[in-house]
Amino acid sequence: MPETRPPQDFAGLSLSDIAALGAENKLPPVEKWNPDHCGDSHMRIASDGTWFHEGSPIGRPAMVRLFSTILRREADGGYVLVTPVEKLSIAVDDAPFVAVELKSEGRGEQRRLAFRLNTGDIVIADGEHPLRVSEKDDGPHPYVTVRKGLDALIARSVYYELVNLALDEGHEPPGLWSEGQFFALDAQ
């Protein structure tokens, strides 16, 4: 079962340390589990990353982290919590995760970007975990892919950090490199 201990101090870690921690994340093989759909979990993930059960916030971070490890996106676009024996629907207002902290090392094509999520998970932007910005009625919504079909909404303050880094580098369109990939920060 995945770790549910509190995350280490992200700011004090090097990106090499962060990459090693990310590689240690052992997740259940939810993509291999295909039980019958059992109903609704009565759970919802708000756009700010707060998890609710029957309308009340789930106050235990370890419980949220545990549930996040069995979250899967279905082919129809819906979200489910899945175990080997049951599958329950869960409502997601925007994205199931929120990127709440950024760590950047290097410049230009040598830059590496790492994000700490509201669940304590760590994602390094690369070809498998791209950055993208979607334009919505209320403005740009930046995301980083966490794992198959699951994204993290990049918190507004973190997005502003990314934009400032991109403007300092002067690429056109504005964007940043991470792990040899260029990610434009303009809305698509």
Give, for all 188 residues of the chain, the pLDDT tens digit: 344 444 455 556 555 555 555 555 667 888 888 898 889 999 999 999 999 999 999 999 989 999 999 999 999 999 999 998 999 999 999 999 999 999 999 999 999 999 999 998 999 999 999 999 999 888 889 999 999 889 999 999 999 999 999 999 988 889 999 999 999 998 76
C-alpha distances in angstroms, 39 versus 43, 106, 145, 165? 11, 47, 27, 45
124 vs 104: CA distance, rounded Å? 10
Whether residue 173 is preceded by a cis peptide bond, meaning omega within 30 degrees of 0, is yes
pLDDT for residue 24: 58
Residues 6+ apart with CB under 8 A from 118: 49, 97, 98, 100
Specify the DSSP class assigned to residue 173. S
Q: What confidence score (pLDDT) does residue 6 get?
A: 44
- For the chain, which domains are there? 26-92 (3.10.540.10), 97-184 (2.30.270.10)
Answer for the pair 104, 165: CB distance below 8 angstroms, yes or no: yes
